[in-house]
Amino acid sequence: MSKGLKLVGMVIFISVLNVIVFSPGLIGIQLSRTNALKTAFGVAFIIASLIMLLFTMYQLFFKPKEEKSIKKLKTKEDFVLALSRFKGSSVLKEDINTTIEQIERMKKKKVVFHQLLTDKFSPTEITFNKFASVVDEVETLFYLTIKNILNKISTFDESEYKNMKGKDASRYSKTLLKEKTDLYNEYFDFVRKSIEMNEEILVNIDKLILEISRLDVVGIDEIEEMDCMKEIDALIQQTKYYKQ
């Protein structure tokens, strides 16, 4: 639920409570001098309502978000938020934007994939579960790769990199500068190869969607022999090299 909807829901809730408390046909609290106790209760209730509304607004819009450690990232929103913290990088901005776009595309493809499975097969069929489990596994690999990207870019010192390219270029020997350059190139190569790997995952999901859309009846043995399934299986086997 969006922040705006949560706020609207709280406003409606508080409004209903106030109607119940102050309506003559219900509790019927009146703000008057004739009954000091009821007046005090009514004023206190109004103040409490305002405090509740202000607290909700603070929680939704102004409270600093707690940064989750990379290992604790779980949802799509967690990953997008973690990556967005590095969007100010002039060096890695394009790679970060591409990774965020890949997350959005993965979400859309999973919706299409599961809808197609539901249309083609019954959830109780072995075929349904086989296809679903394979895509779940590659999704796990997809987000594991993003965790590795985050681990890499979180240790990247952009200011030092810019100094090396600028004022430090004439300060150090060519040998040392080459070592530093090679080191930073390892960062960039790792990030870009990881992005390429995730793009390959997305392409293979597209291939699988296309293959399933052509099927009417298929056996487990036939599934194993599909080219796209073999490619996906090869990707899944790579998870042992990417575990944190």
pLDDT for 71: 76
Query: Is the pTM above the cut of 0.75?
Result: no
Averaged pLDDT in 10-residue chunks for the chain of 244 residues? 73 77 67 67 76 78 65 85 87 92 94 87 77 84 91 85 73 81 88 92 87 63 58 59 47
Burial tier of 62 (Cβ tally within 10 Å: 0-12, 13-18, 19+):
exposed
Query: For the packed helices 36-57 and 3-22, what is the interaxial angle rounded to 10 degrees?
Result: 180
Q: DSSP assignment, residue 58? A: I
CA gap 77, 124 in Å, rounded? 31
pLDDT for 54: 83
pLDDT for 244: 45
How is the chain split into domains, by residue range? 3-62, 70-242
> From residue 188, how far is each of 40, 141, 183, 185, 197 by CA, in Å?
65, 20, 9, 5, 14
pLDDT for 13: 80
